[in-house]
Chain A
Amino acid sequence: MTEREYNSSVDQHAKALFRFIFKSLNVREDAENIVQDTFESLWINRDKVEYEKCKSWIFTTAYRKMIDGIRREKKMTEMPEYYQEKGREASQPDLKSIVSQAMEKLPEIQKSVIMLRDYEGYDYAEIGNITGLNESQVKVYIFRARQTLKNYLVSLENII
């Protein structure tokens, strides 16, 4: 990968990567650090990474860094401040924010595969490469995640 290709990959994937990590961690500084570290690793390994496959490499590396960080600091034990505040402010939340709240209740792996699927449009195999799962496991996790979200939405509709 040349310097120009590296800079091009930053243009194409940095924002999406930050979005994915921030949505998982809900801490801006942590998300920025992971994105920074990931692209630093990409620059160091630019001779080994092909430009065509760099998106998958970037998300895989960032995902692993994020999981390591979560395991180390155990930041996912309670709902983040960002969404707690959002929830309080919105007296009549729209559908998008309801789904976001529901997403926060998902286990980390289910949230990650859903975001990789919906935000980035990866297929099961690509998600498997990033998360270290096989295709069947990915499909099962996505199914369980959607089923949980669906049940949440249906139950909320019944209450309203």
Chain B
Amino acid sequence: MKQLNDENIDELMFMLLEGEIQGEERTALLEAIHADTEYSKIWAAWQNTVVSPSSDLPDINIQNLKRKSKTVFAVHIRKYAVAAAIILAGFLTVFLINRSQSDVLDVAGTESNKPNKPTLQLPQPSDKITRNPLLPNLDTIVTKSQIIKSMASKKSNIQGIENDIEIIENKNAPNNPNSDFELEKIVKHEIQQDEKSENPVIPAQTSPQNEILVSVETTKLANNYKVQQEEQTWLKRLFGSSKIKIENDTNTRTNRKLVIENKKYQIIAGF
């Protein structure tokens, strides 16, 4: 056990303070220190060398040091949303311009200032549901509009046109209370006509007043049918059979611009 003296007093007191001397040795040294007044003062001074943070020190705002990744994510989302909105608005504008410039199929009886439009004259349809006169043995239900469309399709000799014919009310057509009956007769007559054409031996037995009322200008209708089909696939028109090319443009950020063009329009996008 070390003895306390003037030579080793600092070393031993430092070791006591740092906790390097423990147990009986520590107890004995502390007793020796307290037994001497001078050593006690020096030991008190050593104990006061242990510093502690003072309460009057300024503080720091730690909230500024923290990270919030959600904010960054939201900023990106906003950018993408703006970009998406601009692209959608562009497509919508092109679509609306195309629609306004497209030709529309006109039907007799409607007001139109375009004299060269093809005309489809049809009897006034009724949307009442009736039994299918074309297939009387089958338990299927069709509307009169569908029947008329079917007849018009046969007359026009264009396959698959039924769904593309738009029937508009003919205000000049007579309002016949027996129209259902008359229509059925017409349709039956049509079917008979078809059978006769396959078997030309049997002569026609229908009266002239029951002749078919549908007349179609097939050439013009075929042309219009094409126009309508093209209108429905505007997206195909936009990018199908279009030329896509990249040209130099010093006004853009990348000095390049993307050009999509066909016969009708040209889209230029600079980046």
Contacts and interface: CB of A to CB of B under 8 A. Distances in A.
Contact of B60 (A32, A114, A153): A32
Contacts of B64: 36
Interface in B36-63: 41-42, 45-46, 48-54, 57-60, 62
A79 interface: no
A96 B51 CA distance: 8
Nearest to A16: B53
A25 interface: no
B135 interface: no
A28 B48 contact: no
Given A146-B46, A149-B49, A15 B60 contact: yes
B86 to A, nearest CB: 32
Contact of B51 (A18, A31, A118, A147): A118
Contacts of A7: 66-67
A112 to B, nearest CB: 12
Contact of A14 (B18, B54, B57, B60): B60
A19 B57 contact: yes
B58 A28 contact: yes
Interface residues of B, number: 25
Interface string A63-84: 0000000000000000000000
A35 interface: yes
A15 B59 contact: yes
A145 B17 CA distance: 13
A100 B59 CA distance: 18
Contacts of A18: 59-60
A62 interface: no
A150 B42 contact: yes
A153 B45 contact: yes
Interface string A142-154: 1101110110011
B200 to A, nearest CB: 88
B103 interface: no
Which DSSP category, helix, strand, loop or mixed, fits chain B's interface?
Answer: loop
Interface string A1-43: 0010011001100110011001100001001100110010001
Given A15-B59, A28-B58, A157-B41, A10 B52 contact: no
B147 to A, nearest CB: 69
B57 A22 contact: yes
Nearest to A7: B66
Nearest to A150: B45
A96 to B, nearest CB: 6
B62 A15 contact: yes
A115 B60 contact: no
A95 interface: yes
Nearest to A155: B45
Contacts of A22: 57-58
Contacts of A35: 60, 65
Contacts of B66: 6-7, 10
A115 B54 CA distance: 12
A3 B67 contact: yes
A39 B60 CA distance: 13
A104 to B, nearest CB: 12
Given A99-B51, A100-B54, 18 more contacts: A6-B66, A6-B67, A10-B65, A11-B62, A15-B62, A23-B53, A35-B65, A99-B48, A114-B51, A118-B52, A119-B51, A119-B53, A145-B49, A147-B14, A149-B48, A150-B49, A153-B49, A154-B41
Interface of A: 3, 6-7, 10-11, 14-15, 18-19, 22-23, 28, 31-32, 35-36, 39, 43, 95-97, 99-100, 103, 114-115, 118-119, 142-143, 145-147, 149-150, 153-154, 157
The 9 closest A-B pairs by CB, nearest first: A149-B49, A18-B60, A146-B49, A14-B62, A153-B45, A150-B45, A39-B65, A118-B51, A10-B65
